[in-house]
Amino acid sequence: MLRALLLCCSAFALGGCVGSTGGDLFEFDAFARGHAGASAPFVNGKGYTVALTRAHVRVGAVYLNRAVPTSVSSNTSCTLAGIYVAEVTSPLEVDALSPEPQPFAASGEATSDTARTGEVWLTGGDVNEPDDPTVILDVAGSVQRGGTSLPFEGRLSIGENRVAPTPPAEPGQRPICKERIVSPIVVDVAPVRGEKLALTIDPRSMFANVDFSELTLGDDGILHFDDDPNTATPASTNLYIGLRATSSVYAIGFEPGAPR
């Protein structure tokens, strides 16, 4: 039975949120993959040559929406206005350096309505739970500039460390779910019965504005990204911003004959 978003997602549960104005309702398989060029060295926006050896992204859910609303980062509900026409609610840790399809464990649900925006939920469980230590982004590699090469690593979470102070006059206006939902991601796709949803993640774009000279070199000889916003360098902050970027990092579409 088709369900309207506001009825089924009022508690921001990870499931049962597909609604429609009358399209065909069906199940589909879904997979994620890394960008085909992500494992090759690249030059970021600050002039550093970066070679990634690890880039794992924890995805909690994927949604497609008929509407083109404002970002959930603004003063809005965590669930976007409009009707959700496709959902994948089983979690997956994506190896974003591998272009091979990595299947979500459970089928998704969709209608045949055209989607205009997408959401990627970065969570280890309940999107509303502040105390979630799950590592959402786990990266490692090496960086070179001016003939010097150094290894780096980072593990970023979105838990109590990302809970923003709430102004007394605006209680509840900055819930943790807004940090975990990457949206709106621009799409133009109508789910088709028999096709598979593909989520492609390009970790290179997460590093676009990272100035590696701002990172601290540890006693182990490794540059470390900081997961604490209170002590994070601008480089660590910019990597976190890149993880949540609504363009260039995440692409969502449907593909015929894609492997499960």
Distance CA 224, CA 139 (A): 10
Q: Which tops the pLDDT comparison, 94 or 165?
A: 94
Q: What is the pLDDT of residues 94-108, one digit of tens each?
A: 999 999 999 999 999
Whether pLDDT at 258 is above 80: no
Strands 115-121 and 61-65 come out as: antiparallel
Grouping H, G, I as helix, E, B as strand and the rest as coil, residue 240 is helix
Give 198's contacts (C-beta < 8 A, 6+ positions apart): 30, 31, 32, 33, 101, 252, 253, 254, 255, 258
Local confidence band at 162 (pLDDT 50, 70, 90 cut-offs): confident
pTM: 0.87
Strands 84-88 and 115-121 come out as: unpaired
Q: Which tops the pLDDT comparison, 170 or 142?
A: 142
User: Tell me, what's the pLDDT at 217?
Assistant: 94
Distance CA 3, CA 6 (A): 9
Q: Tell me the β-bridge partners of 151.
A: 142
Q: Tell me the β-bridge partners of 256.
A: 195
Q: Tell me the β-bridge partners of 143.
A: 50, 150
Distance CA 180, CA 23 (A): 29
Q: What is the pLDDT of residues 221-232, one digit of tens each?
A: 999 999 999 889
What are the distances in angstroms from CA 179 to CA 81, 95, 131, 212, 253?
17, 22, 13, 24, 23
Q: What angle do CA 242, 246, 247 make, to 5 degrees?
A: 90
User: Tell me, what's the pLDDT at 254?
Assistant: 96
Local confidence band at 77 (pLDDT 50, 70, 90 cut-offs): low
Name the DSSP class of 3.
Answer: -
How many residues appear in the chain? 260
Local confidence band at 78 (pLDDT 50, 70, 90 cut-offs): confident
Distance CA 105, CA 92 (A): 8
> What percent of the chain has pLDDT above 90?
68
- Residue in 219, 216, 220 with CA at minimum distance from that of residue 228: 216
Report residue 20 as tokens.
Answer: 């429609």
Local confidence band at 179 (pLDDT 50, 70, 90 cut-offs): very high
> What is the residue-averaged pLDDT of the chain?
86
Q: Which tops the pLDDT comparison, 24 or 260?
A: 24
Beta carbons of 129 and 143 less than 8 angstroms apart: no
Distance CA 35, CA 44 (A): 16
Give 259's contacts (C-beta < 8 A, 6+ positions apart): 31, 101, 103, 196
User: Tell me, what's the pLDDT at 112?
Assistant: 92
Q: What is the pLDDT of residues 207-216, one digit of tens each?
A: 999 999 999 9
Give 37's contacts (C-beta < 8 A, 6+ positions apart): 204
Q: Which tops the pLDDT comparison, 7 or 16?
A: 16
